[in-house]
Amino acid sequence: MAQYEASASRYEQMQYRRCGRSGIQLPLLSLGLWHNFGDKSDLRESRNILRTAFDNGITHFDLANNYGPPYGAAERNFGSIFKEDFKNYRDELIISTKAGWDMWPGPYGNFGSRKYLIASLDQSLQRMGLDYVDIFYHHRPDPDTPLEETMGALDQIVRQGKALYVGISQYSAEDTQKAAAILKEMKTPFLIHQPRYSMLDRWVEGGLLDTLAAEGLGSIVFSPLEQGLLTDKYLKGIPEDSRAAKEGTYLNKEQISDELINKVQQLNEIAKNREQSLAQMAIVWLLKDERVTSVLVGVSKVSQLENNINGLEKLDFTEAELKAIESILA
């Protein structure tokens, strides 16, 4: 593959939002490397996806220790692509990783202990060939480790120069408030929360977004297309090549009722009237709320990423559209 040179017009292609009350701005779309950068993926396509993202002003690449498969593969593959293509652009990029889910055997390879978080980030930096990440997240709440220990580990990571900012993922509004108080006392640069959020999964509206605004935190939301449900893939039922048709995925057939398919079909009609795909509308619907800093998208093809980017051309909704969407989702 030819030597990569980023598009000179890359910053003209994207809009950015300030992340809470910080100095950081994030692109409206960020690229997640969850499923499609493992050893079973076409790494040539993975590389083209990263190049296309950056050429269109997507400056944020989001990883985690156990992204793959197998665990660690996404970081390792990203590291080799980074070395070839993006090393000269390091200061233009926000690169994040996380720890909190199962990573290695035994009691020190999961959840939120100081030992696990610090060891995990050391491994992540080695796999990616980086001196530091821009954001390091605790990936999920730990019911057994004291919050002070987990937040203390995040503070230590910043003081060691291994991360510039810290974040949390999937914490409740109450636990986010507690974490923010601890980190504020330690003067740790707490930047962002990464919750799951889509038209079909709206738990963040039950207080979390209000808490983030009050604490001056940004948000970057994942699973905006509900594992593909909010695309044209399921309009006629469950296709054979879909995630829902495969065993061992995060979406199963039992979740997909006739009622749900009917809702998706109605939403698709609104999207068509807006001259958007359903996926495009589902993404920009999340961005109608300024408390959502960025939407994290995961793609397996360059064409999917381009489709998501093109959807940003129409961010506004009419009152009638919003009411019609609410009546369908209700």
pLDDT of residue 254: 66
- Judged by DSSP in three states, 108 sits in coil
Q: How far apart are CA 63 and CA 32, in angstroms?
A: 6
**CA dihedral defined by 194, 199, 204, 210, rounded to 10 degrees?**
100
Q: How far apart are CA 77 and CA 66, in angstroms?
A: 13
Residue-range domain boundaries for the chain: 10-225+288-314
How open is the CA angle 79-83-89, to the nearest 5 degrees? 110
pLDDT digits (tens, 9 = 90+) for 119-172: 999 999 999 999 999 999 999 999 999 999 999 999 999 999 999 999 999 999
Query: Pick from 73, 29, 14, 10: which is nearest to 284 by CA?
Result: 29
Query: Pick from 60, 40, 65, 47: which is nearest to 126 by CA?
Result: 65
Instruction: Report DSSP letters for 216-256, one per residue.
Output: T-EEEEB-TTGGGTTSGGGTTS--TTSGGGSTTSS--GGG-
pLDDT of residue 237: 64
Please give the CATH superfamily to which domain 10-225+288-314 belongs.
Answer: NADP-dependent oxidoreductase domain (3.20.20.100)
What one-character DSSP code corresponds to residue 83?
I
Does the pTM surpass 0.75? The reply is: yes
Range list of H helices, 114-249: 114-128, 147-159, 173-185, 208-215
pLDDT digits (tens, 9 = 90+) for 9-68: 999 989 999 999 999 999 999 999 998 999 999 999 999 999 999 999 999 999 999 999
pLDDT of residue 278: 98
pLDDT digits (tens, 9 = 90+) for 240-298: 655 554 554 555 666 678 899 999 999 999 999 999 999 999 999 999 999 999 999 99
Phi-psi category of residue 71: left, alpha or beta, with phi > 0 → left and psi -120 to 50 → alpha: beta
Asked whether 96 and 49 are in contact (CB, 8 A), the reply is no
Q: How far apart are CA 207 and CA 40, in angstroms?
A: 39
Q: How far apart are CA 25 and CA 79, in angstroms?
A: 24
Residues with Cβ within 8 Å of residue 121, at least 6 apart in sequence = 97, 99, 133, 136, 157, 162, 163
Q: Are strands 16-18 and 25-27 parallel, antiparallel or unpaired?
A: antiparallel
